[in-house]
Amino acid sequence: MVTVVAAALLAAPAMAAPRAQLGLTTDRIEVGQAIVAQVVVVGTPARRPPTIPVNDGVTIAFSAKSERIDLRPGRATSIYSYQYAVRANAEGTYTLGPVQIETTDGKRLETEAVTLRVTPSTDPSSDAARFVVSGGFEESEAWEGQVVHYVYDARVRGRVVDVRWRFPVFEGLREPQQGGRGDEQYQIMDPDGEITVSHGVLPLVATATGRKEHPASLAVAELRTGRPGLFGMVRTTSERMATDPSSLVVRPLPVAPDNFTGLVGDFVFESTLETARAAVGQSVTWTLRVAGDGTLEGFSWSAPEVDGATVYGGETQHIGRVEDGEYLGMAIAENVLVPTQSGQLQVPPLELVTFSPSRGAYQTHEISVPPLMVTGSADGQSVAVESFATEVEEIVEGDGIDFRDIYRWGLATTPHLGPVLPLMAGAAALPGAAVFGVLGAQWVAARRRQRATVEVAPTASAILASLPAERGEARWAALDAALRIALADRVDQRVETMDREAALALVPDALAADLRELFGVLDRARFAANEPEGDVAPRVRDAVAALEAS
């Protein structure tokens, strides 16, 4: 359905969608009555209020323009609305639109046309005209698992405070887990007094097959009576009106293929990566967006295995609501992709199978995934240094300097200034030679220390000797770095360019199996927030010792 897809694609910016729409508050009025028409433009405003073409018998006048921000998962979109008063002057069926729109950025858009049915005016004093209700299914037939729409409408003349609805138990149907009924209440301008319209759509999922007969729904209108009472209290009276009973035929689905996702509806899909370039070992969010006119409750996406990368499952966000009279279901599933080798990573297209009620058949969706360019490491540095850097104490003896700090490899710092701070605080009272003597001694000590500190690449043993005590990302990263460095040394490769799987193939099978399991535990802890049970550090130490001994 065009309306559903247009609304859904506000949440999926890369998908194509209509960018303008024409709508009416209702498609049925009487002669002499007036309603509101609205032209909606998404993203960019119209250069001037659009003109709505219509046949004689209906007059249209522009009344107002408004702007709002639509917040959807992943984006914010400006929506511009142009409102018109539409008055029916003669009985008949009228076509409004299509509307031609020129936007301020030079684009030309066109909406679909809408239909307005104008019936003869009724006697406002008759009971039939004072309170009119209707209710029933938009679909006469549906498929098992399909979302159907129970549409209800009440039109009440008089000073209406509120209109409430009571629905029967719909046998073989249930409300979706995400998204309930969509209600709206508006007024029709009438020469004999205002008419309040309570209109809504109740989405229901067909769960049982066969023909089902459903009882009537009940509309309860609360109307003002007389003048306000003491302290401005409003006096009201309630009136009730029942709809006709309704029925629905639900057909069973055909025999499903093995890879059927369980989704029933007409859906669109989009797969995106958060970046076009990444380094080996860098985590990249891989997002799958789904939108359509069916429920997505329970839908989860398990990304396939990808050559040259490791994929970890993430969370799926489910959304459901009624928009413009139709049910809209959306899901946003995020996984994490971690490249394991450099070069262009091309993920094969995804294939997901759904059942399309409009086609009456299963449909295979082929979803392309953009390529990812993978570099050996970020900024040409070692993966271990960049991603898994940890504080390693380098003990350097000689020169009579007391090295009490913990240093990162390759960096030099000045010694503690604590012992000389009192001297520096009183420097103004010292002779100039004494002041420069203190500062000169400090400079000499710094130079000696700089010469004493040498640039040493981290070793697996050094990293394990200074593991962060607390469980968390820093500890898992350090353990992973130690394991990678030990493996690189064992196969005589540079850690920043090492292909982990290729390196594991060069060590004994039993040891490779243990290492592969350990890498998996650490990957899940780092990239999927799945912390290991117990302390994995002893296992890593044993694996490092085994690599160094083999």
- Tokens encoding 120: 């003869």
DSSP 8-state code for residue 104: T
In the prediction, which pLDDT does 126 show? 67
In the prediction, which pLDDT does 529 show? 64
Least reliable range by pLDDT among 27-41, 73-87, 276-290, 391-405: 391-405
Q: What is the distance between the alpha carbons of residues 173 and 119, in angstroms, rounded to a whole number? A: 34
Q: Which domains are delineated in the chain?
A: 1-121 (2.60.40.10), 123-252 (2.60.40), 260-375 (2.60.40), 460-549 (no CATH)
Could you tell me how far CA 464 lies from the centroid of its own chain? 39
pLDDT at 353 over 60: yes
User: pLDDT tens digits for 58-110?
Assistant: 999 999 999 888 765 556 778 899 999 999 999 999 999 999 999 998 889 99
Cα dist. 133→200, 217, 492 in Å? 12, 9, 82
In the prediction, which pLDDT does 228 show? 67
Q: What's the chain's length in residues?
A: 550
| 483 residue type, one letter | L
**Contact assessment for residue 46 and residue 30, using Cβ atoms and an 8 Å cutoff:** no
pLDDT at 176 over 90: yes
pLDDT at 356 over 70: yes
Residue with the larger pLDDT of the pair 303 and 440: 303
Q: What is the distance between the alpha carbons of residues 212 and 215, in angstroms, rounded to a whole number? A: 10
Give the relative orientation of helices 509-527 and 537-549 as an angle to the nearest 10 degrees.
Answer: 140
Let me know if 286 is exposed, middle or buried by CB neighbors in 10 A (0-12, 13-18, 19+).
buried
Coil vs helix vs strand at 64:
strand
Share of the chain above pLDDT 70, in %: 78
Cα dist. 336→303, 357, 487 in Å? 9, 33, 24
Coil vs helix vs strand at 160:
strand
In the prediction, which pLDDT does 398 show? 34
Residue with the larger pLDDT of the pair 388 and 511: 511
Closest to 2 (Cα-Cα) out of 364, 403, 323: 323
| 519 residue type, one letter | F
Q: Which residues of 315-350 are buried (b: 16+ CB within 10 A; e: fewer)?
A: ebebbbbbbbbbbbbbbbbbbbbbbbbbeebebeeb
Kindly indicate the confidence band of residue 521, based on its pLDDT and cuts at 50, 70 and 90. confident
Please provide the DSSP assignment of 480-536 as one string.
HHHHHHHHHHHTT--TTT--HHHHHTTS-HHHHHHHHHHHHHHHHHHHS--PPSS--
- Tokens encoding 133: 């209700």
Let me know if 212 is exposed, middle or buried by CB neighbors in 10 A (0-12, 13-18, 19+).
middle
In the prediction, which pLDDT does 263 show? 95
Q: Is 399 left (phi over 0), alpha (psi -120 to 50) or beta?
A: left
Average pLDDT, the chain: 79
Looking at residues 286-294, what average pLDDT do you find?
94
Please provide the DSSP assignment of 412-439 as one string.
--PPP-GGGHHHHHTGGGS-HHHHHHHH
Please provide the DSSP assignment of 222-283 as one string.
EEE-SS--GGGPPPEEEEEEE---EEEEEEPPPPPPTTEEEEES-EEEEEEES-SEEETT--
In the prediction, which pLDDT does 407 show? 30
Q: What is the distance between the alpha carbons of residues 94 and 71, in angstroms, rounded to a whole number? A: 35
- Tokens encoding 333: 């599933």
Q: What is the distance between the alpha carbons of residues 224 and 395, in angstroms, rounded to a whole number? A: 88
**Contact assessment for residue 279 and residue 374, using Cβ atoms and an 8 Å cutoff:** yes
In the prediction, which pLDDT does 548 show? 86
Q: What is the 3-state secondary structure (H, E, C) of 339-407?
A: ECCCEEECCCCEEEEEEECCCCEEEEEEECCCCEEEECCHHHCCHHHHHHCCCCCCCCCCCCCCCCCCC
Closest to 117 (Cα-Cα) out of 22, 52, 23, 28: 28
Residue with the larger pLDDT of the pair 451 and 548: 548
**Contact assessment for residue 339 and residue 280, using Cβ atoms and an 8 Å cutoff:** yes
- Tokens encoding 19: 């960018």
Q: Is 424 left (phi over 0), alpha (psi -120 to 50) or beta?
A: alpha
Q: What is the distance between the alpha carbons of residues 549 and 396, in angstroms, rounded to a whole number? A: 27
- Tokens encoding 221: 């209108």
User: pLDDT tens digits for 131-144?
Assistant: 889 999 999 999 99
Could you tell me how far CA 522 lies from the centroid of its own chain? 27
pLDDT at 418 over 50: no
